[in-house]
Amino acid sequence: MSALWSSLQAPIVGGRSYQTGDKDTGDKSSERRLRAVPSLPARMARIPFISVLIAVFGVGMVGLLMVNTTLQNQAFESRSLNRQAAQLVYQEAELQSQLNKLRTPDQIASKASALGMRANPKPAFLVVPSGKVIGEQYRVTGDEMKGLIVKTPEQLAAEKAVREAKAKAKAEAAAKKKAAAEAKAEAKAKAKAEAAALEAAAKKIAAEAKAKKAKAAEKAKKAKQAKKRNGGN
């Protein structure tokens, strides 16, 4: 037991143990001494680590939500801008159509007629820069070529209103004249009927008077005859 203990207490050189009485056969430079092993770093506690993970996860989710919201807003703004661009394209097409319509010869002639411009059947030409006039100058009254006068819708509407007013006035005058004629004829017929009725009444009265007179004469005659008979008796 003592021998075993002494062997354990012997110094270790070069990875081998030697007793005190043994000879040193190894090189002193190759001796390795035992050194204290540094203690391991303490592990991080679980609760703070989980808290850090939750915080990182929360920050990531918030960042992802913000990115998603930003992308949605940008997509909505992009759709809105696309709709506005489409509306502007339609407006441009409509304005271009109106411009093309205003450039037509009919519209130009209508605008010229509205400004008082009239076609000249006998035009004269001025030569620039000499100032020479070619052709005979002729003052236009505006009635030379009525077929070339293009009237505006307002002028056409005004002329139509005037024609309708004249036709209405003429119809009203004709209706009044007809009503007056009918009233006159009715009054004449009524007067004639009244005259006929009066004449018939007069004839009736005359006939009744004649009948009464004849009856009275006959009665007087009978009375006279009766008186004669009474006087003869």
pLDDT tens-digit readout, 132-178: 888 887 777 777 677 667 777 777 788 889 999 999 999 999 999 99
pTM of the model: 0.32
Contact between residue 133 and residue 124 where contact means Cβ atoms under 8 Å apart = yes
Q: How far apart are CA 215 and CA 37, in angstroms?
A: 184
pLDDT tens column, 183-228: 999 998 898 888 888 888 888 888 888 888 888 888 888 888 777 7
pLDDT in tens, 34-71: 666 666 555 555 677 788 888 888 888 888 889 888 88
Token pair recorded at residue 19: 């007793």
Average pLDDT estimate for 108-115 = 78
Mean pLDDT of the chain: 78
For residue 167, is it left (φ>0), alpha (ψ between -120 and 50) or beta? Answer: alpha
Decide: 125 and 133 in contact? Cβ < 8 Å: yes
pLDDT at 32: 64
